[in-house]
Amino acid sequence: MPRLLVRLTICTLLVGAAATAAPVPVHLMPKEPPLYFPTRVGAKWVYQWGERELTQSVTAVERTDAGSLVTVTGHRPDGTTFTDQKVLVRQAGLTQVESFLGKLASPRCWLKVPCVAGAEWEDDCSTDLVRQKWVRTAVGAEAVEVPAGKFTALRVRNVLVVDRRGLHLPVLDIGYDGWYAPGVGLVRSEERPGNAMVLKSFTR
């Protein structure tokens, strides 16, 4: 083989290898799903529920293999605080692992991502006296406007089902729809039309 042809062949192979190893432009890289809850200390929510105003803030974040464990602190009108809940935040969704009463026997999955309309899941919340569970159904993405602004939020319908002596009786008075926005969390919670808790302000 002539030397010139050999050199051209080698150059072609080197150029091809360099092109293969070239980094993928950022705008062409696959995007990761957003987190539907803040994961930085200092984030603060103020909710309006009728005439009541509820304030919460993120006071601790622990990075774990399972995700970010976020501690949410409640603020009372008199200035005192309490650990309201702990939430495991992942790209796959939001799971409450602790309430103001302490660690939950069974974690409660508020949101699953991707939020496929019609998808359903259950969370057991039975007590020593009664068997019960939350049945959650994904509704999908919706435009929501609250005092804090306009959001595209994922809507989840929640119904508490109680099993008394083997009879499955839905408790219609205990159910709500929740709307979750990227990076913010819950922006609206509605038990029934006209009875809603809305996000008044949010500080990142």
State pTM to two decimals. 0.81
CA 67 – CA 89 distance, rounded (Å): 6
Q: How confident is the model at residue 8 (pLDDT cuts 50, 70, 90)?
A: very low
CA 42 – CA 202 distance, rounded (Å): 11
Name 128's Cβ contacts closer than 8 Å, sequence gap at least 6: none
**pLDDT reported for residue 161:** 87
Residue 117 pLDDT > 60, yes or no? Answer: yes
Residue 60 pLDDT > 90, yes or no? Answer: yes
> Nearest to residue 113, comparing CAs of 89, 79, 146?
89
**pLDDT reported for residue 163:** 76
CA 98 – CA 108 distance, rounded (Å): 9
- The answer to whether 93 and 36 are in contact (CB under 8 A) is yes
**pLDDT reported for residue 192:** 73
Domains of the chain in sequence order: 32-203 (2.40.360.20)
DSSP 30: P
